[in-house]
Structure 1
Amino acid sequence: MISSLLLGGSLFAAPAMAQPLAAQADEPAATDPAEDEGEGIVVTGSRIVRADLETSSPVNVIGAEEIAFRQPNSTEELLRDLPSARPSLGSQVNNGGNGSATVDLRGLGANRTLVILDGRRVTPFGLDGIVNLNVVPVALLERVDVVTGGASSVYGADAVAGVVNFITKRDFSGLALNANYGIAEEGDGARWRADVLMGANLDDGRGNAVLGISYSKRDAVLATSRDVSAVPISSTTGLPSASTLTVPSLFRSLLKSASNPNGLPTNGSGAIYDPSIGMFRAATAADVATTNEGNYMQTPLESINAYASARYEVTDNIEFYASAMFSRNTTQLALNSTGTFSNTYALPLNNPYLTDAARSQLCAAAGISVANCAAAASATGGPSSAGYRTVTIMPSRRFSEYGYRYNTNESTMFQVQGGVRGDITSTLKFDLSAQYGETSQNQLRENWGSNSRVAQALLAYRNASGTPVCQDTSNGCVPLNIFGGLGTITPEMLGFVGLDSLVRRLTTLTVVTGSISGDLFGAASPFASNPIAFAIGAEYRDNTAKATPDMPAQIQGEVLGTGARTPPDFGQYDVKEVFGELIAPLVEDSFIKSATLEAGIRLSDYSTTGSSVTWKVGGALEPVDGFKLRAMYQVAVRSPNIQELYQSPVRALGSLTVDPCAGASPSAPSSLCYATGAPAGSYGSIPATSGQITLSTQGNPNLDVERARTWTVGGVFTPRFLPGFSATVDWFRIRISDLISSVTQDDVLNGCYSTALNPAQTPNAFCALIERNPVTGTLLTDGGAAGVAISSSNLGRMGTAGVDLGLRYNFDLADVFGGDPGNLSFAFNGTWLDYYWTQATPNTITRECSGRYSTGCTLARPTWRWNLRSTYAKGPFALSLMWSHLSAVDFEPIAPAAGTVPLTTPQAGSTAATYNGVLPQFRHVGAYDYFDVNLDFDVSEQFGITLLVENLFDKQPPQLGSSVAGTAHNNGNTMPMLYDAIGRSYTVSARLKF
């Protein structure tokens, strides 16, 4: 009933007890993870089946009532605001996304968070082994359990930071229909979801079958529809960011003349072709300014999910069970129109669209005499023609006529599981199961264009009748006009240079698990009535993943605007494991209330990294009723995933705040710029690149496991003198050694060019990782040069610590006022981040990112995050307010010296160079508070409605510019994964049960 709202915990750090949450309406309460052997249950964080089980690990619980309040379209929305989690890929990530939604506990990386469904693994989305949250069926969710601080000894690798266990409804009988519709106050970003849930008990309760089907759709929100993101703003100038693509073309090559021997333009932006005068002129700010047209602030999603489960007791002691899930998701990312992206091309001087004046400028820049230039203009064909000559150009022409670029990802996932479980004796239980799943992806890049066809279409001339023709007409080539204004690139031209590209990916997961659990042959402590509980078992897992791109995608630079090729990749590993777990009640209701010891161990043998051991030991002490202390120490081991091991060399685009070698007054010395590949004579005229950089990465098959040590120490307080109140406090500390990590681009650039980190200003190991564009000197390359090389190793380390705090108070107002005034409840869940630091290699700085953001720290990590839900309920009515708080954050300064941890914030008056040139107004974000209000009403026992207003006061996101936190995280001049960029929105939902 509504009066039980929040009883199951609303984002509240609840004690890990095997007590079912309060069920809604007439649904039975769900146990975890949907395994109910008579009186035995399983708690998230343990494999032991026993009714009296309590574990020593803290568990955050998102209950059924909270799920109903949130009205999520996907499970990612449930976890986005969880204080113990860091926002990861999701609907707010456009450029840098891959169509999935992920969760990142403690900010240690989504690859260190294990996502399971009813205690079972879920088939990964891609080669990195990470689960796409969009496949989890919202309609069937009973609750979500989140164990932070490590769970590798129980569930295996990937659980270094913890585990998220989505628990589905069990023993559901009847029919339930749910639907919701939401829209932003701006009138866009609409969201729909409709669910059908049906179930039936079989053979007088000996079995049950349940089926849930859900359809959801989320519309896009364009960046240009919000003030904060309408135009990309430079974080270093505060002005609209210059574009590398313009209409007409911008030429990056330096154009020389007698009065300007260093070439045009003198402002370093490039030379723009002006159709009105038929020649090149120096580009102005108005020429290169652009908008965020086509970019999404909220990416669209269409999803169909189906989940079915069934169980049947063939005898009183044996039960067969099975489940199957299917998910089909279509997501889309979008960018402004494609173009030539400053690629290098050969342009014949007899090109049919080249004017005499522009040709003369090009000849002068290339040092071609007037006579030879005239002869080249008169050539009547290709290379065999008399006088034929080409010049090298670097045009930046946006193909606005083509429309926006799209990256559409269609993924289909299915997974089936079957098993048998039952009693060996009255105190021993067994469980044997197998599962298989596949995720297939079709990633389609639409309207991106072909680099080789652009090169072919530029090699054109006028035939005897004056018609533009290509030198090579074997494939229907149409000459391309890059010199005119909007509309001069015709549909026929686009038909030739246009290109869509497809990448297929397939991952598979096979798991076979068997376990025995129960009492340890009746052994018990002399001071406890309950015997020692144990679980032992074995597991086999096989994981494969492959990427199969089409041929254009495999060629570096062929697909315009990708910045990276997509090579064919394949990898496989399998692992054999045995595990054991023990929970021993030492004292029960004796000279103290209770004392419990807990231990576990898992021995793993990976086909890639060999043998490893992970284990845990902990316990709980309750000296008096209502006051419990708990602690857990865990040694976790994570083996590298397929992408980390086997990824082929790839060049991708990253975000760059300032290039130390660019501009008229570079901060780096010329010697280092030239040592890292800048062409001779380019110092002082290397152009900026719209905040972009080329990064080169690849896997490392020699990677070994990484090792983590985790402490959690805390207490649970339920004082008898304050009925309805409970509190949990847990300190956590996680240290990871042999970290699988890569140096960041900031590590490399600062390590080479910064006087603080390279005081001798001589080429060093970091400079060796930099390879500039040999033509322009920029870090944005088009094929040959690597940009900044990022390599993986086990040389890194990482650490984080903080405190989780949970408070709950639930009381009946009748105790104060008498009568029946209703119920009032409060649920607080917060995390204080003491520190978060990482060091990629012993030669790089130790970066402290607590309370900071940057391209090195990426998304901001507030030191305080908390949620407070307050709910008033009376009969069928409930009114609830959620208050979410984010503490202030600052831009990360450059480290004063290698190995300093934590980094000290520079004092007032520090130079802009200390902040990589980022302006003061973009270096700080004050504290943010958001409020959501929810009204819930049960019209009848069968029908109820909910109204939700999110971001009640329409709090606007901070304006930070376009290059302060990395490409994926710094979208639309802000960080929309953390700060709401959509604005106030409304959702109405209805539910019907029979």
Structure 2
Amino acid sequence: MRTFGMGALTTGVCVVALAVPAQAQAQEQEYNIPAGSLRSALDAFGRQSGKPIIYKVDEIQGLRSRGFRGTATPQAVLDAILAGTVFTARIDRSGAVAIVKAGNDIDTPSSQNDSDNVGAPAEILVTGSRIRGSQSPSPTVVFSAEQIHEEGFQDLGELIRSVPQNFGGGQNPGVGSGATTNGGNLVNQNLTGGSALNLRGLGPDATLTLLNGRRLSYTGFFQGVDISAIPLEAVQRVDIVPDGASAIYGSDAVGGVGNVILKRDFSGLTVGALYGGATDGGLTTEEYDATAGLRWSSGGIIATFKHSNSDPIFTDQRDYTADVLRPTTIYSGNDLDSGLVSAHQSLSDAVTLHVDAMHTERNLRTNLGYPTVYYQNENDTKTTFVAPGVEFSLKNGWRIALDASWSRDKVEYRQSTVTIATGDTRISEGCYCNESRVYELGVEGPLLRLPAGTARLAAGAGYRTLDFETLSYTRGTVVYDKHQNAKFAYAELNLPLISPEQAIPGLHRLTLTAAVRGEDYDTFGTVATPKFGVILDPSDDFTLRGTWGRSFKAPTLYQLAQTPIGYLYSASALGGTQFPADATVLMAYGGNPDLKPERARTWTASLGYHPSAVPGLEAEVTYFDVNYTDRVLVPIADLTHPLLDDTYSDFIDYAPTEADKAAIVSRQTFYNIAGTTYDSSKVVGILYNDYTNAARWKARGIDVSGSYAFQMAESRLALRASLSWLDSAKQNSAGQPAIDLSGTIYNPAEWRSRAGGVWTLGGLGVSVFGNYTSSVTNVLATGDREETGSFLTFDATIRYKTGDAQGLLSGLEFTLSAQNLFDRTPPLNTVSSSIVLPYDSTNYSGVGRYVSASISKHF
């Protein structure tokens, strides 16, 4: 006998309910569905929407849902409730809802009589797993579109910079001069004006960024992805998995994965505008956007376009940077045009086509002052992404997916070097050009029936190509050109061993997961990465999760192909005061074609608390540990005084032979910076500073998160908090002492947190959030240690939505937002040069208070 559940309703009642008007299906309304069991979430939806809802109790038993809070259409709410499961919602013309396994039908009267009008099942995307309906054992941070708007984020770059597990170093628009010195990383450069994820501070090249589960092309030469170029208006949610995931996704997923999931369906037209700026001057911003969509019985399409432009902030616009040589920018100005289209079409119940496409163009303007010259940099970045695919749903529950993607990123730079005394200008122009192609065939489905549920398997194989070239327009030459091919295959297994229906005391649910992926590169060979996970629910109120795995990152094409360069320095210029005044040193710098992949061992352990007695309350604490070896680095990152620093001794040869010296001088490019003629007899050492596999990084820490949402008479209050403690260190080579990273300048702070709440009453919403970043230590040239202050700021947002008001007032939304509401100055530190910003721009913002106002209307 088939058993259905719909609160107290039966199938017969569903037939009576078919008189609900069809046009009511698309109306938006407020929902407050707490996370918990899937059954309770579906029942709550039925009560709040007033729609008949039908499901099989035995099929959804033991499954959980993230719930939903906010204003949306019924279909959008159901998609959110069912995200991460094998189920989809089908709404017929009457408004009746049937919860069915994706690709299958349910034999209700509505589905039999109106099958032609049933919407296509929503695509199921689970970040951190390829198994449909699985719950990932890795910790996952989820930001819904509603939450992003509630908290006043202007783009996805602002969102990721607020995440405690993420580090603001690497490619980000606020990273300023000096961030590569004094222990900072060479990747701390603002090349494009974009924003790249940098989980755990392991580097933007060690965090994988996906769009609808597909790779995007790298940007620039330090291998990151600009997440802020993705139009926020097209985003359904953002998943961040701060755990190694190479067994699922391959290279780069060492620190974790960020997955931007697009809205699948959108009906109507929404236009919006925003104006904002820093109250202390600069960063005047204008934005205009339009989003249009259409949904039909077997598919849908959404298209969005966004234009924004912002002015830079210069050092003379802030008192605390007035001594920095002008003209130097604190925060880069840029113009951005971004367009995106996403569409899906079911050709039949068994075949679905889908495509995502995006094109962005960004213009960046920065300036950097020096005593005798200043630099004007203007970079134009153009990114194109196209990802078509087809999915076949078989009657036995298996699915076959064939996907492809092509992405190209061109960063065309123009650097003008202006001599201050004469005004003479020297121009250098060129391009950092990246291109990637991925082809993949995957299958997923039920493997065998176990007492606790169905074991599921996902497997697949594919081919990936990468191209990187650096062009010099000034010289009309190709500086370097590198190509890489990789074949890959993967498999993932999900085994439910214990379910609630078995009624085992102390064991509510137990699931084991296992995954493995192998990749074969034409540049360095093969690498295999496994991962194992466990999910244990002692009761319905607690969840224990754990993971152990290995991840890797292939060396970047820039690291492999960079031009080999030789330098001649005065020994005293590099701290060699112990040598004669006319002593010199040579330095080797450049790429290394013999680099190996970086490798990491990661593990996590999490405890989640979601008491059924307190609906809406959730909390989780996670311990993580990363052991990252064979890191590719330029071993001597700081050339201020390397000859005085014992940590660099493994990379300095103080007794070079004549052949060793000749090898450096005869490199493809040689620069004499010593100010004297090269004399081999004056050379007292060679610094070997080519890219090499030498470093070991270790990172461990604790993440804590919690949320509680509840009704207060006619209003609702949602409280949210997250905190991350990080302890990380590095060794430049074996045998060298560990050097602290976390808590030191231009590296991640030890403590970061964000906490606040959102209060809503009808169409009015108010949010207030605090952001805390702990102090960092600055090592002065004298060797003394200086500790900066910590940084506490507050953000506030007020939103008002007119909802279903009549006429021109319907569908309006007004937003007023302020970041750093009390205009806090970043903690200052001592600098040894007037070209360096006097604060850590990777951890603290120099913008000050930023206020914006926006309006949008939905037609």
Q: TM-score range by the shorter chain?
A: 0.7 to 0.9
For residue 724 of structure 2, what is the aligned residue in structure 1? 831
Are residues 1:312 and 2:348 paired? no
Contact kept, 8 Å, 2:826 with 2:844, in 1: the verdict is: yes
Contact kept, 8 Å, 1:640 with 1:705, in 2: the verdict is: yes
Contact kept, 8 Å, 1:772 with 1:787, in 2: the verdict is: no
Are residues 1:878 and 2:803 paired? no
For residue 580 of structure 1, what is the aligned residue in structure 2? 491
Distance 1:861 1:876 in 2: 39
Is 860-869 or 207-216 further displaced after alignment?
860-869
How many Å apart are 1:73 and its aligned residue? 4.5
CA distance 1:753–1:959, shift in 2 (3 Å): same
For residue 978 of structure 1, what is the aligned residue in structure 2? 843
- SS across alignment from 1:328: strand
Q: Deviation string for 1:455-479 (max 9, x for gaps)?
A: xxxxxxxxxxxxxxxxxxxxxxxxx
What does 1:305-704 align with in structure 2 at a 5 Å threshold? 305-336=338-369, 397-398=372-373, 405-448=375-418, 489=422, 497-520=424-447, 523-526=448-451, 528=452, 530-552=453-475, 568-589=479-500, 590=502, 591=504, 592-649=507-564, 661=572, 669-671=577-579, 675-677=583-585, 697-704=589-596
CA distance 1:193–1:625, shift in 2 (3 Å): same
- Please list every run of 5 or more consecutive structure 1 residues that lacks an aligned counterpart in the other structure: 10-14, 233-291, 338-395, 399-403, 450-481, 555-566, 679-694, 779-783, 815-819, 854-858, 893-914
For residue 852 of structure 1, what is the aligned residue in structure 2? 744
Distance 1:8 1:971 in 2: 48
How many Å apart are 1:624 and its aligned residue? 0.8
Q: Deviation string for 1:668-721 (max 9, x for gaps)?
A: 54327655449xxxxxxxxxxxxxxxx863111101112110001011111123
How many Å apart are 1:735 and its aligned residue? 0.4
> Number of residues paired by the alignment?
734
Aligned AA (1:871): V
Are residues 1:228 and 2:320 paired? yes
For residue 675 of structure 2, what is the aligned residue in structure 1? 775
CA distance 1:448–1:513, shift in 2 (3 Å): farther
CA distance 1:2–1:191, shift in 2 (3 Å): farther
Are residues 1:44 and 2:127 paired? yes
CA distance 1:23–1:536, shift in 2 (3 Å): farther
Distance 1:653 1:183 in 2: 46
Identity of aligned residues (%): 25
Contact kept, 8 Å, 1:773 with 1:785, in 2: the verdict is: no
How many Å apart are 1:919 and its aligned residue? 6.6
Aligned AA (1:593): H
For residue 164 of structure 1, what is the aligned residue in structure 2? 258
What does 1:76-115 align with in structure 2 at a 5 Å threshold? 76-88=157-169, 89-95=171-177, 96-99=189-192, 100-115=194-209
Aligned AA (2:483): Q
Distance 1:97 1:650 in 2: 24
- SS across alignment from 1:105: coil
Distance 2:729 2:851 in 1: 39
- Please list every run of 5 or more consecutive structure 2 residues that lacks an aligned counterpart in the other structure: 1-27, 37-61, 89-101, 104-120, 178-188, 666-670, 805-810
CA distance 1:840–1:302, shift in 2 (3 Å): same
Contact kept, 8 Å, 2:656 with 2:685, in 1: the verdict is: no
Distance 2:480 2:684 in 1: 22
Distance 2:339 2:561 in 1: 33
Are residues 1:862 and 2:762 paired? no
CA RMSD of aligned residues (A): 3.6
Are residues 1:950 and 2:819 paired? yes
Contact kept, 8 Å, 1:112 with 1:162, in 2: the verdict is: yes
Distance 1:638 1:516 in 2: 25
For residue 72 of structure 2, what is the aligned residue in structure 1? 25
For residue 790 of structure 1, what is the aligned residue in structure 2? 689
Aligned AA (2:697): M
- SS across alignment from 2:454: coil
How many Å apart are 1:537 and its aligned residue? 0.5
Distance 1:672 1:754 in 2: 18
Give the structure with higher Rg (CA).
Answer: 1
How many Å apart are 1:722 and its aligned residue? 2.6
How many Å apart are 1:982 and its aligned residue? 1.7
Are residues 1:147 and 2:241 paired? yes
For residue 129 of structure 1, what is the aligned residue in structure 2? 223
Distance 1:729 1:332 in 2: 42
Distance 1:71 1:7 in 2: 22
How many Å apart are 1:632 and its aligned residue? 0.4
Aligned AA (1:775): G
Are residues 1:840 and 2:763 paired? no
- SS across alignment from 1:531: strand
Contact kept, 8 Å, 2:161 with 2:168, in 1: the verdict is: yes
How many Å apart are 1:629 and its aligned residue? 0.4
- SS across alignment from 2:247: helix
For residue 687 of structure 1, what is the aligned residue in structure 2? none
Distance 2:288 2:33 in 1: 24
1:738 aligns with one of 630, 651, 661: 630
Contact kept, 8 Å, 1:135 with 1:413, in 2: the verdict is: no
How many Å apart are 1:774 and its aligned residue? 3.0
Aligned AA (1:568): V
Aligned AA (2:190): G
How many Å apart are 1:876 and its aligned residue? 1.4
How many Å apart are 1:762 and its aligned residue? 11
For residue 753 of structure 1, what is the aligned residue in structure 2? 644
Is 645-654 or 583-592 further displaced after alignment?
645-654
How many Å apart are 1:758 and its aligned residue? 7.7
CA distance 1:55–1:652, shift in 2 (3 Å): farther
For residue 206 of structure 1, what is the aligned residue in structure 2? 298
How many Å apart are 1:97 and its aligned residue? 2.4
How many Å apart are 1:826 and its aligned residue? 0.9
Q: Name which structure has the greater RCO, CA cutoff 8 Å, separation 6+.
A: 1
For residue 888 of structure 1, what is the aligned residue in structure 2? 775
Distance 1:593 1:672 in 2: 75
Aligned AA (1:25): A
Contact kept, 8 Å, 2:825 with 2:846, in 1: the verdict is: yes
For residue 343 of structure 1, what is the aligned residue in structure 2? none
CA distance 1:927–1:135, shift in 2 (3 Å): closer
For residue 24 of structure 2, what is the aligned residue in structure 1? none
Q: Deviation string for 1:461-517 (max 9, x for gaps)?
A: xxxxxxxxxxxxxxxxxxxxx9xxx6xx4xxxx5xx533221023221111011110
Aligned AA (2:295): N
CA distance 1:22–1:805, shift in 2 (3 Å): same
How many Å apart are 1:646 and its aligned residue? 1.0
Q: Deviation string for 1:549-608 (max 9, x for gaps)?
A: 034598xxxxxxxxxxxx701101011111000111110012021000011000111111
Distance 2:64 2:434 in 1: 35
Distance 2:63 2:245 in 1: 13
Is 433-442 or 619-628 further displaced after alignment?
433-442
Contact kept, 8 Å, 2:160 with 2:166, in 1: the verdict is: yes
How many Å apart are 1:872 and its aligned residue? 1.8
Q: TM-score, normalised by structure 2?
A: 0.79
CA distance 1:948–1:397, shift in 2 (3 Å): closer
Contact kept, 8 Å, 2:266 with 2:293, in 1: the verdict is: yes
CA distance 1:611–1:745, shift in 2 (3 Å): closer
Contact kept, 8 Å, 2:131 with 2:457, in 1: the verdict is: yes
Q: Deviation string for 1:320-376 (max 9, x for gaps)?
A: 112211111111121237xxxxxxxxxxxxxxxxxxxxxxxxxxxxxxxxxxxxxxx
Q: Deviation string for 1:608-661 (max 9, x for gaps)?
A: 11111011001111011111100000111222120111111358999xxxx994
Contact kept, 8 Å, 1:696 with 1:787, in 2: the verdict is: yes
Contact kept, 8 Å, 2:653 with 2:687, in 1: the verdict is: no
